[in-house]
Structure 1
């Protein structure tokens, strides 16, 4: 059994995959044992050909028709054997020791549910990847500010946790699903990603279900990764509509008043 199974889903992400795979297998190869499962979601950019020719150790699953984010990741986990699961988006660049640090933390904190690294922008500035649970107030503020992060809006700033001590290991409500780390048993207990979401909100939903199962979501800034954040729903279009549908699904499942991580009495 491998220590970590890395699950990556791609759809015409060849340029990003080149950087991810180089960082993982060449530049910042983890010390621990790992396998990578790549699920190709009907790419037309020769992603599969490139991986087969340059990284034959990667296990590839090719979809015959496009599937949603959660279903693809579930598919990858089912095909994996690692003790721990790392959901890693194709637009991530692994940094030195980042996966080993997450593994060490998980082994020392068995009560942890989902552990997330510190995500950085390509210029190495802090990315606002940690969030508060969404509310009607937050949603309204995000719509009025057109989903932009750099706005002078108290509600948006609180939602993006801009006052967070980014160097402190701590409980958080949730984090964007570009890089999730968890024990295989945690994934199984949660039943994987909820397939009622095709795209968007699966990450927030999974973190909330983690909290509801008394498994905390923990931000571990000692582990850092670069995230070339692809924000497909920031403009009006099909993806924006999918995001809205997912938000409606989220509220229908969990209600509009959600307990946040600060209300829990667990200790790190």
Structure 2
């Protein structure tokens, strides 16, 4: 069975539209879990009223996407997790059935990365393309990757849990990057599947600017500290911090950048306590994936 896990925060109309699409799915046995992250709107009441069959969980306090997704994964009964952010729609009524087909066709694959379109259903959602290959050449191809977007994905639940799920210390942004690293380090693999697609309406939350000026530089440091071996951590973090600082200077966000670095320095001791550098074999695999390996 598939467990569809939907994190929701202050997006009542969006999550209701997504639920309509999910319940229109054909050819698959599934349950739906919505985890509300203490929305200030009436999302919870609307979901209870219009979709009483949904398993609805409400966080006691706002915990962020990583916490919210993890809670849904833990509550899931299915052996496959399909994660969908609340600002997507799913026009294809056979997406869930096709997820099952893909996992059957690739029994050693851990996860499936969906193709993300803009609302017009034709344009690629370029800002969410973090795969290690060019979007123009690979968006319509199946390939093994070191990344997936939390916007839309599918994983075998047990392997997702074994990899540690989303790192909750990051709160939001880069949590998928670290989880992908952990999955690969456990010997798993992630397959980009262009036939598994959603429309991403990018209903930006009010904290979106906070992502670019605070969470992004902070979490880049924290991921490097927790995941990357010695010199690789420096190679990863230093150029990014230089770029983020220059960008902050140009855009007048130096105070935000310094706030991000202060927060990172406060969290580094906690990251070091649980630091697990990726194996050398994993680093080689990540490098090889930049060449667009076929499944």
The TM-score, its normalising length taken from structure 1, stands at: 0.81
| Equivalent in the alignment of 1:241 | 214
Count, aligned residues: 238
CA contact (8 A) 1:132 1:260 kept: no
TM superposition shift of 1:174: 0.8
> Structure 1: how far apart are the matches of 2:42 and 2:206?
25
| 1:193-212 matched pairs, under 5 angstroms | 193-212=166-185
> Structure 1: how far apart are the matches of 2:66 and 2:115?
22
Residues 185 and 54 (structure 1), Cα distance of their counterparts in 2 relative to 1, 3 Å cut:
same
- Structure 1 residue 63 corresponds to structure 2 residue 94: no
| Equivalent in the alignment of 1:149 | none
Is the partner of 2:183 in helix, strand or coil?
helix
Residues 112 and 47 (structure 1), Cα distance of their counterparts in 2 relative to 1, 3 Å cut:
same
Alignment gaps of 5+ in structure 1: 134-157
User: After superposition, what is the alpha-carbon deviation per residue over 1:63-104, rounded to whole angstroms, capped at 9, x for unaligned?
Assistant: 121112111111111111001011110011113211211121
> Structure 2: how far apart are the matches of 1:187 and 1:228?
26
TM superposition shift of 1:231: 5.0
| 1:148-227 matched pairs, under 5 angstroms | 161-227=134-200
TM superposition shift of 1:239: 6.3
Residues 131 and 239 (structure 1), Cα distance of their counterparts in 2 relative to 1, 3 Å cut:
closer
Q: CA RMSD in A?
A: 2.3
> Structure 1: how far apart are the matches of 2:13 and 2:205?
17
TM superposition shift of 1:240: 3.0
CA contact (8 A) 1:117 1:221 kept: yes
> Structure 2: how far apart are the matches of 1:189 and 1:110?
17
User: After superposition, what is the alpha-carbon deviation per residue over 1:211-247, rounded to whole angstroms, capped at 9, x for unaligned?
Assistant: 2222111100111111112455996447631222111
| Equivalent in the alignment of 2:124 | 126
> Structure 1: how far apart are the matches of 2:138 and 2:162?
30
The TM-score, its normalising length taken from structure 2, stands at: 0.74
Structure holding more helix per residue = 2
Is the partner of 1:225 in helix, strand or coil?
strand
Q: Which of 21, 27, 40 in structure 2 is aligned with 1:31?
A: 27
Residues 220 and 196 (structure 1), Cα distance of their counterparts in 2 relative to 1, 3 Å cut:
same
TM superposition shift of 1:260: 5.9
- Structure 1 residue 54 corresponds to structure 2 residue 50: yes
- Larger Rg belongs to: 2
Alignment gaps of 5+ in structure 2: 237-282
Residues 40 and 53 (structure 1), Cα distance of their counterparts in 2 relative to 1, 3 Å cut:
same
Is the partner of 1:67 in helix, strand or coil?
coil
Which range moves more in the overlay, 247-256 or 57-66?
247-256
Is the partner of 2:135 in helix, strand or coil?
coil
- Structure 1 residue 81 corresponds to structure 2 residue 77: yes
CA contact (8 A) 1:171 1:261 kept: no
Residues 24 and 41 (structure 1), Cα distance of their counterparts in 2 relative to 1, 3 Å cut:
same
Residues 177 and 185 (structure 1), Cα distance of their counterparts in 2 relative to 1, 3 Å cut:
same
> Structure 1: how far apart are the matches of 2:187 and 2:11?
36
